[in-house]
Amino acid sequence: MTPRMLRLTAAIVLVFALQPAAFSQQTWEAQESETTETLYRVQFLDADAGYVAGNNGTVLKTTDGGGSWTDISVATDHPLRDLSFVDQELGWVVSGDPNAASGSGAVWKTSDGGASWTQQSLGTTQARLGVSFVSATHGWACGSSTGNWDIRATSDGGDTWAMQTGNGFGWLYDIDFVSQANGWAVGVVYWPTNTGFIVRTTNGGGSWNQLALGTIPFLNAIDFAGADIGMAAGEQGTVRITGDGGDSWTTPSDLPTDAALFDVAVLDGSRAWVCGAGGVIFASSDGGDTWTADESGTSEPLRGIFFLDETTGWAVGDNGTILATAAGAAPVIDVTLTPPGEPIVIPAAGGSFAFDLLVTNTLAQPRVGQLWIDAILPNGNVFLVAEEPVIFQPGQDIAIEGYEQLVPGFAPPGEYTYRLSAGRRGLNLVVDSDSFPFTKQAGGMSAR
Residue boundaries of the structural domains of the chain: 3-22+331-440, 28-325
CATH number belonging to domain 3-22+331-440: 2.60.40.3880
| pTM score | 0.71
Q: What is the tens place of the pLDDT at every residue in 153-191? A: 999 999 999 999 766 778 999 999 999 999 999 999 887
Query: Low-confidence residues of the chain, pLDDT below 70?
Result: 1-25, 101, 146, 166-167, 327-332, 363-368, 424, 426-429, 444-448
State the Cα–Cα distance between residues 280 and 305, nearest whole angstrom.
11
pLDDT at residue 159, rounded to an integer: 97
Identical fold, 3-22+331-440 and 28-325: no
pLDDT at residue 328, rounded to an integer: 36
pLDDT at residue 331, rounded to an integer: 55
Nearest C-alpha neighbor of 403 from the set 376, 371, 432: 371
**159-168 residues labelled b (16+ CB within 10 A) or e (exposed):** eebeebbbeb
Q: Summarize the chain as % helix, strand, coil (round to 5).
A: 5, 50, 45
CATH number belonging to domain 28-325: 2.130.10.10
**231-262 residues labelled b (16+ CB within 10 A) or e (exposed):** bbbbbebbbbbbeebbeebeebeebbbebbbb
